[in-house]
Structure 1
Amino acid sequence: MKKVLITGVNSFIGNSLDSWLKQYSDDIKVDKISLRNSEWQAADFSDYDSIVHVAGIAHVSSDKDLKEKYYQVNRDLTIKLAAKAKAEGVKQFIFLSSIIIYGASKTENGMITKETIPVAKDFYGDSKIQAEAGLAPLEDNTFKIATIRPPMIYGKGSKGNYPKLAKLAVTLPFFPDFDNQRSMIHVDNLSEFIKLLIMNEDAGVFFPQNQEYVKTSDLVKTIAEVNGKKSFQTKLFNPVIKRLLNFNIVDKVFGNLAYDQMLSEYPKENYRIHDLWNSIKNTEKPEQP
């Protein structure tokens, strides 16, 4: 029986992982803990095999007044938590980093390979890079660190860029048909991947993603169809989009950002429970009364 502690009691990812792991209650026992105040420092971690650290500030902000907050939460809190875990005998620390750490280092085609060196273009990404660097000295034969750098995570109830795109899909009558390629991962696929890391006691840096890349216009069309809408695609705006790709908001929607699929292979077992298009349909499917 593996005993696992998930940080972030109100986290979409943490709650999704908790629900997913309940399917394996014969093999895994899960608790959650909040890090919003200092009470966690008095908790006893000695009973846990793994800590899955998903708590943190997860969205990009340009507000310089929040800069120090990002480093306090995403870097300092992560390192402090891991040091306590190691001191109290936890065997594995799983840290949720992000593809955002490659914000300023991706190539023109947007493909991230094993040779791509992380270079952030904002303090959110840099806080994650510095957290990874701060964790590295803690790792040894008794304390394994598994760092996950997921692409966009989506699923029913997700936050961030996906629901914004979904809102556009059901409100705009047409959408640019612009060729691009992006990596995404459904939260169930991510949860299954984390489960495998726990059961196999893995360490290292990991890049899980869906089996398929996504083209933004195809994604918008699928979301619209699931919601009973039609999204007409047009190439009329493509010349303008090409000129504006250097702007952050345009790049987020129409730019390329993808992991080489070789980075995302997990040879021990399959973690891709859902294919891309069925996962989109399940995400957009209305709740049953």
Structure 2
Amino acid sequence: MKITLLGSLGNINRHFIPRLIADGHEVTVITSRSEGAAAIEKLGAKAAVGLNNDLDFLSRTFTGSDLVYLMITGIAFSSVTSMSDLAKIYSQAIKNSDVIKVINLSSVGAQSPEAGILYEYHAMENALDALAGVTVKHIRPVGFYTNLLTEIAPLKAQGKIFEAISPETMRAWVHPSDIADAVYNRINDLLTDKAVSKIKYVVSDWATGTGWINALATNKITAQYITISVENLIENFVKAGLPKVVADGFGQMNQFQQSPDKLYQEIKSSNYHHGKVKISDFAKEFAQVYYQ
């Protein structure tokens, strides 16, 4: 089968692209960097160099594909408008290319306006779901473990982790390799016309901030968990250069995470993909980067 993927050889794709090639599929990987083409081709895939906001390029590249895998790249949550614009481009490219099977990497929070910045993903889901004659499946991962790597700088400087979420609030986490497993499974489901749910959540583990501190301690990293206000968080984002509307979106997201029963209600009532990488496993990865 012919499969076209967005996302180059990122943290998710690099885990499942070799499996698709080993299965005998003809895989095309879209990358915005010409220097990334060699690594893609070394795996046995075809590299398509272009931008994900180029409608003509996407339409040409998608044409002839049995399945297309979409993910949002390159906008960095700059605004709701940019997400909406990209949704229009992706959906129009699918329509132009007559692709009838699509997997879309979305996010937890796409289902709830209360989720702040995460709710932007609903624009992509809605645009794709509106396509007539196209089977669309959404993958909704929870918070990425890899986001925790941003804590390394304040940890080294002050021995502290700053969060706008209580250390006793339960949070869901996911590893890119577990997302890759879920995507790979969904690709096989669609290619074999298996009846599956529209949405698949992906969770590797559930842990509180205190649990994370304890996991770090096991790897000889001493950390103090400091809870800051959402207002302070927003102020810090603005100082770092984020537009106020985007900083507010991140603040609202953090506020919503204080209500895990609401945020994760749909996950817990679904047959979500339960990954293998636990918080203790990622703490070891974190420590390797920390001690570099």
- Under a length normalisation based on structure 1, what TM-score does the superposition of the two structures give? 0.67
Task: Tell me the residue number matched to 1:92.
Answer: 101
Task: Tell me the residue number matched to 1:20.
Answer: 16
**C-alpha offsets along residues 42-80 of structure 1, whole Å, 9 cap, x if unaligned?**
52534322211013356445xxxx44323212x222322
Counterpart amino acid of 2:121?
Answer: K
Task: Tell me the residue number matched to 2:85.
Answer: 72
Task: Tell me the residue number matched to 1:111.
Answer: none
Shift of 1:206: 1.7
TM alignment of 1:170-185, pairs within 5 A: 170-174=156-160, 178-185=167-174
Tell whether 2:264 aligns with 1:259: yes
The sequence identity of aligned pairs, in percent, is 12
What CA distance in whole angstroms lies between the structure 2 residues aligned with 1:283 and 1:84?
A: 43
Counterpart amino acid of 1:144?
Answer: T
**C-alpha offsets along residues 79-125 of structure 1, whole Å, 9 cap, x if unaligned?**
2233234x2xx3420112222435xxxxxxxxxxxxxxx21565x54
User: For the Cα contact (< 8 Å) 1:93–1:145, is it kept in 2?
Assistant: yes
Secondary structure in 1 matching 2:171 = coil
User: For the Cα contact (< 8 Å) 2:154–2:160, is it kept in 1?
Assistant: no
Query: Which residue of 278, 281, 285 corresponds with 2:281?
Result: 278
TM alignment of 1:5-154, pairs within 5 A: 5-9=4-8, 12-13=10-11, 16-27=12-23, 28-33=25-30, 34=50, 35-41=52-58, 43-57=60-74, 59-61=76-78, 66-73=79-86, 75-85=87-97, 87=98, 90-101=99-110, 118-120=112-114, 122=116, 124-140=117-133, 143-154=134-145
Paired residue total: 245
Query: Which residue of 195, 199, 204 corresponds with 2:198?
Result: 204
**C-alpha offsets along residues 240-275 of structure 1, whole Å, 9 cap, x if unaligned?**
769989985497398354524534535xxx762323
From the superposition, tell whether residues 264 and 286 of structure 1 become closer, same or farther in structure 2 (CA, over 3 Å): farther
Alignment gaps of 5+ in structure 2: 31-49, 191-195, 235-247
Task: Tell me the residue number matched to 2:40.
Answer: none
Counterpart amino acid of 1:186?
Answer: H
Secondary structure in 1 matching 2:130 = helix
From the superposition, tell whether residues 242 and 152 of structure 1 become closer, same or farther in structure 2 (CA, over 3 Å): closer
User: For the Cα contact (< 8 Å) 1:173–1:232, is it kept in 2?
Assistant: yes
Cα root mean square deviation, aligned: 3.8
Counterpart amino acid of 1:214?
Answer: A
Shift of 1:188: 0.2
User: For the Cα contact (< 8 Å) 2:114–2:252, is it kept in 1?
Assistant: no
Shift of 1:199: 0.7
Counterpart amino acid of 1:265?
Answer: N
Task: Tell me the residue number matched to 2:149.
Answer: 163
What CA distance in whole angstroms lies between the structure 1 residues aligned with 2:189 and 2:2?
A: 13
What CA distance in whole angstroms lies between the structure 1 residues aligned with 2:82 and 2:233?
A: 29
User: For the Cα contact (< 8 Å) 2:231–2:251, is it kept in 1?
Assistant: no
Secondary structure in 2 matching 1:167 = helix
Structure having the higher helix fraction is 2
Shift of 1:179: 0.8
Alignment gaps of 5+ in structure 1: 103-117, 156-160
What CA distance in whole angstroms lies between the structure 2 residues aligned with 1:153 and 1:37?
A: 28
Task: Tell me the residue number matched to 2:42.
Answer: none
